[in-house]
Amino acid sequence: MLPLIFIIGLAIGLTILLIVLSQKKKKDAQPETERKPLSKQRESTSSEELTNYRTYHYSAREFIFLVVISAIFLFFVGYLFYQNIIISILFSSLSFFFPKLYLPRKVQKRKDELSFQFQQALFSLSSSLVAGRSIENAFIEVVKDLYLIYPDPETMIIKEFEYINKRVANREPIEVALKSFSDRADIEDIINFTDVFLTCKRTGGDLVEVIRRTSTMINEKLEIKQEIAVMVSQKKFESNIIAVVPFFIVAFLSYSSPDYMEPLYSWTNLGPIIMTISLVAILFAVWICQRIMNIKV
């Protein structure tokens, strides 16, 4: 038992060391754009400085946490199914791919959060336009209202609307700033709102009514998502339990009846092949459950 704990600790230590060194190299090799004079930085308002919601960049802490946790889990799985240290270490080395596999979930989570915040902004925008304010002044008032809901200045929707107001203050058309936001957000509701907004600006349509209807539609869509989430939450919990149970069964049998499980760990017969097929079947079942539970509205 002690050698196993020592190997796990050594693997985790080496993993953390490698990640810290790689992050340090990345920081040292950052492009010279960050060292531009202040005047150049003020002039640069390209979309590269803004958040691209189509992707997600892990912080050093997030990356290390995901790799370490997945390395421990994969080492446990490898040792549980094969009881071989070398194979377990090979399994744990796959942890470097886990952040990439987890990336779509992080991207979707941030998009869902931005979509909800955008709904709050539309309610405020609609109220300001009904009160008789111009489009530009209404966007300024939205930021003030959002600060009442989200005190944190780093909130995504606050940063986006502040950037739109800055571009308008620099005499850029509000349509251009809003189109830039929708392109980076890559969210259906924001894209549809922007398209309708641009059309109304060109043709002189009723913006107040358009924004009111858009906010209502987004609100209904979010309510449907929440209802679906509540309906499938129990099934998700059950699927997670079912996915974990086989590992506990194998661990229990290996601990309580080692003689019974010994043929499955012997490389002189088909035991490891059977364990590999079982592991693949478990992973496939988990993937199928995730696909079934991923209901899009």
Find, among 190, 7, 15, 205, the residue nearest to 95 by Cα: 15
Pair 121, 153 in one domain = yes
Pair 209, 117 in one domain = yes
Mean pLDDT, the chain, integer = 81
Phi, psi values for residue 228, rounded to 5°: -65, -40
> In the predicted model, what is the mean pLDDT of residues 13-29?
51
pLDDT at 257: 87
The beta strand positions in the chain, using DSSP E, are: none
CA 198 from centre of chain: 30
pLDDT at 9: 56
Looking at 224, 252, 282, the residue that finishes a domain is: 224
State the CATH number of the domain containing residue 134: 1.20.81
Give the angle subtended at the CA of 286 by the CAs of 281 and 291, to the nearest 5°: 125
Q: Would you say residue 15 has pLDDT above 60?
A: no
Pair 95, 162 in one domain = no
Q: Residue 10 is part of which domain span?
A: 1-17+58-102
Task: Convert 22-48 to b/e letters by CB count within 10 Å (16 or more is b).
Answer: ebeeeeeeeeeeeeeeeeeeeeebeee
Pair 91, 171 in one domain = no
Question: Is residue 33 very low, low, confident or very high in pLDDT (cuts 50, 70, 90)?
Answer: very low
Looking at 44, 74, 102, the residue that finishes a domain is: 102
Taking the C-alpha atoms of residue 90 and residue 78, their distance in angstroms, rounded to an integer, is 8
Pair 112, 87 in one domain = no
Overall pTM surpassing 0.85 (yes/no): no
pLDDT at 142: 92
**Residue 32 forms part of a structural domain:** no
Find, among 288, 287, 289, 263, the residue nearest to 275 by Cα: 263
Pair 141, 69 in one domain = no
**Residue 212 forms part of a structural domain:** yes
pLDDT at 43: 39
Pair 66, 131 in one domain = no
pLDDT at 36: 39
Pair 166, 96 in one domain = no
Q: Would you say residue 59 has pLDDT above 60?
A: yes
> In the predicted model, what is the mean pLDDT of residues 26-36?
41
**Residue 291 forms part of a structural domain:** no
Looking at 224, 252, 271, the residue that finishes a domain is: 224
Question: Is residue 145 very low, low, confident or very high in pLDDT (cuts 50, 70, 90)?
Answer: very high
**Residue 170 forms part of a structural domain:** yes
**Residue 200 forms part of a structural domain:** yes
Q: Would you say residue 207 has pLDDT above 50?
A: yes
> In the predicted model, what is the mean pLDDT of residues 86-110?
91
**Residue 177 forms part of a structural domain:** yes
Pair 170, 92 in one domain = no
> In the predicted model, what is the mean pLDDT of residues 246-259?
88
> In the predicted model, what is the mean pLDDT of residues 207-222?
80
Pair 174, 187 in one domain = yes
Pair 73, 137 in one domain = no
| 247, burial (CB in 10 Å: exposed 0-12, middle 13-18, buried 19+) | middle
Pair 11, 83 in one domain = yes
**Residue 268 forms part of a structural domain:** no
Question: Is residue 19 very low, low, confident or very high in pLDDT (cuts 50, 70, 90)?
Answer: low
When divided into structural domains, the chain yields a total of 2
